[in-house]
Chains A and B, each alone.
Chain A
Amino acid sequence: MLRLLAVLVFLALGWAQEITVLTHSSFSLDKGLIARFERETGLKLRFLKGGDAGETLNRAILTKGAPIADVIYGFDNTFLSRALEADILLPYRSPEIQNLKATLLLDPSFRALPVDYGWVSLNYDRAHFKDRSLPKAPADLARPEYARLLVVQNPATSSPGLAFLMATVARFGEDGYLDFWAKLRDGGVRVAKGWSEAYYTHFTLYKGDRPLVVSYTTSPAAEVYYSEGKYQEPPTGNLFPELAFFQVEFVGILKGTNNLEGAKKVVDWLLSKPVQENIPTEMWMYPARRDARLPEVFRFAPEPVGSVRLDPKVMAQNRERWIAEWTQVVLQGRSPEAVRRGRR
């Protein structure tokens, strides 16, 4: 019994001298790059996956008193205000900042540094629409013949879901977005919990029954990349650049880290050219560095023109209300008028 206890205590104390990076569950980098960094710096990297981007950030906020990691990676501009208000990050003026695209520097206090960016966008299955016509304009999606082909993510539990909801607010306005969603609901839109459920179980490309899915502008390129020569051209396409939603992902050092120097090195490394050039084909986001070259396959992922951008302040003020109103209309079946009446 005592021996068992001793072993358990030893196990509990086992991990020390590591830098822990808290990430969302889609995080991935080349193993060789990580090994090289560990060799050169003598630091051991541990990646902790905290779930969806929003969930990961909340976990960091909930454990503020005893931080679970030294560095957090991957919270986006829809949650930027929450990260800053919760005061969980240390400012760090990385020497790499001068190499980053200036438009991405959304936090003047340098607590959240942009690490990559991309667009949440509608994808369609080309095979399914070969002989059928695609919707002509975003509003057409609400017609029953298209609504029943679409799968979206629940904005309460998924960051692409939230991004798409915000895109509809920007596109149809505070008065119109609920009507749009009510029509989608009546037409039979499907709501998945998260991106991977929507994409890998409901999308027709993966034997689901929905040929329209909320995903990323880079997803068609990723399909070509992973097909091992099966596809020369993407089997999917992007639809409606005017409904694409601009997302920036950030990295930051968590307050309470006991290895500040090590954490800084990790942030610098994540912003360095080799890692930035690895991000596109690992996480399918665009690098935040100006001088990072894009891989060849990204010719299938052109940046959308006329996409939606929302002011972080507007998002911070309205995020919770939009989610609540969406839930009432789409999941609870309430009428948009009743929800709007309830706003006062």
Chain B
Amino acid sequence: MARLAGLLVLSFLGLALFYPLSRILVLGVGEGFAKALANPYYWERYLWSLEYGLLSAFFTLSLALPLAFLFRRRFPLREAFLALSTLPFVLPTPVVALGFMALLGPRGVLGVDLYGTRTLLFLAAVFYNLGLALRILLPVAMRLEGPMRAARVLGATPFRAFLRVGLPLLLPALASAGLLVFLYAFSAFGVPLLLGGPRYATLEVEVYTLLAYRLAFPEASALMLLEILTLGLAVLLYLRFRPYPLPPGELLPASWAWTAGLAAFFLLLFAPLGALFLQADPRALASAWASEDFTPLSLALGNSLRFTLLALLLALPLGVAYAVAARGSRLLDLLGLFPLMVSPVAVGLGYLLAYPAWRGSLPLLLAAYALLAYPLLARALLPALRSLSPNLLQAARVLGATPLRAFLRVEIPLVFPALQSGLALALAAILGEFGATLVLWRPEWTTLTLAIYERLGRPGEAPFKEALALAALLALLSGLLFYLLDRGRGRWG
């Protein structure tokens, strides 16, 4: 059965990822490099993307490290704060972008206009990735107490103990977290597109612009290739870092003061979301519902729900099949992670190149959604499947169940909570998908995310208010659906 599942995943990956990517490769190397890479303008885009990735990682880590040390303590509401810290990661990019516009944009609550500055872009990157970095650093930080105490017993000052014992032990986790943040920021699309203006376009935004406005396939392919190579290098590095095996540590005592301090910090961190809901006007929602100037909300909402449902129907069997197949195969485990490395815009571009006859047809869009979503589902499912005792399955087989039956009746019920969490992640990813949708879109398919983008493209107070209201709605919708499926279990990250 694992072999069959492996075959299914591999054939999907072949058609939906490797073949389209090979078309980018051929065009990018063949024609694009000569055209694009002779142009210093594109190199500047590349350097800026690198800078954005690296500095975002640096800023995020410098905030996540002290935060991880704070979370080593037991204080009231600690778990709630931890759950809260990962919330931004499931928020759609237009929601985050509009949150920052509501706070620090031209009509922002604070009255400071940072729109189109680097500062705003870095703030958004930190907001997005802080929880992710914290989740990686925290388990290691919690195990440092033993070794560091040993160092102090041997006569080291606390500072020296941290410098010579704590920090070296933390390094692998710091590197992993930093590389992940780099991956996400370097290939960021939605945030720089909406907040960066033409000056701070990342490679990903540039590729989209080349396609949408100039139809320059060779140049777009060359830039995309450059991006994929860089991302691939970062992933290879990422795979090298393994945490040192340390005995689990215990939470240190702390008081309500800790809770109060962290509450203040999270209030500050979530100020963009607060500003979004503060500025979102329910009346704008009403005017957006049957808008004549833009895609009416009724249509966009229907599209979003329809596409999410259809794509989940595709992503669910794929994710389960992948988890089953990857349980026993390290190679497949790595291969199946591939979709997480390529950007949504690359997927869209690859589809346009690989299947010209299918341009503008729904299966392409759904395949892209499923491709981007199934690894998330599988990542949540895999640890649960791996932790199952093989005895259970053998017992079912001895009692006469076929392999499929044993899987469906014994294993699936046991991993059902993990499956639900995975589904919740996949759903959040599809609902907020932006890059691939923008490349593969047809006007009548405008989703909620695109309806926001469309309104932002037009100046004036009224469209901006509608965009804010739609973003607030999207935030509520993805938050609600996520909670309903996941119930705050958080078996991911």
Contact = CB atoms under 8 A, between A and B. Distances in A.
B39 A323 contact: no
Interface string A304-344: 00000000000000001001100110011010000000100
Contacts of A48: 443-444
Contacts of B361: 65-66
Interface stretch (B137-145, B209-217, B367-375, B481-489): B209-217
Interface stretch (B72-80, B242-250, B413-421, B455-463): B455-463
B266 interface: no
A282 to B, nearest CB: 14
Contacts of A58: 211-215
Contacts of A327: 41, 198
Interface string B433-468: 000000000111000000000000111100000000
A151 B214 CA distance: 23
B40 A342 contact: yes
Contacts of B211: 58, 62
A64 B212 contact: no
Contacts of B352: 62
Given A200-B460, A324-B39, A324-B41, A62 B213 contact: no
B160 interface: no
Q: Which of A8, A52, A194, A323 has the most chain B CB within a 10 Å cutoff?
A: A8
A156 B214 contact: yes
A2 interface: no
A334 B42 CA distance: 13
A63 B442 contact: yes
Main secondary structure of the interface of B (DSSP, over half): helix
A55 interface: yes
B358 interface: yes
Nearest to A158: B213
A51 interface: yes
Most buried by A among B198, B211, B216, B458: B198
B357 interface: yes
Contacts of B40: 328, 334, 342
Interface residues of A, number: 45
Contact of B309 (A8, A67, A196, A332): A8
A55 B359 CA distance: 16
Interface residues of B, number: 31
A154 B360 contact: no
Interface in A73-127: 82
A55 B213 CA distance: 5
A332 B358 CA distance: 37
Most buried by A among B44, B209, B459: B459
Given A11-B302, A62-B215, A62-B360, A191 B198 contact: yes
Contact of A65 (B198, B214, B357): B357
B60 to A, nearest CB: 28
Nearest to A63: B360
A59 interface: yes
Nearest to B299: A11
A54 B213 contact: yes
A178 B360 CA distance: 38
Interface of A: 4-5, 8, 11-12, 15, 22, 25, 48-52, 54-55, 58-59, 61-68, 82, 154, 156-157, 191, 193-194, 196-197, 200-201, 320, 323-324, 327-328, 331-332, 334, 342
Given A63-B442, A65-B361, 7 more contacts: A8-B309, A51-B457, A62-B211, A67-B360, A193-B457, A197-B459, A342-B38
Q: Which 4 A-B pairs have the closest CB atoms?
A: A63-B360, A66-B360, A197-B459, A201-B459
13 contacts: A58-B211, A58-B214, A62-B211, A63-B360, A63-B442, A66-B358, A68-B360, A154-B198, A156-B213, A193-B457, A323-B214, A332-B44, A342-B38
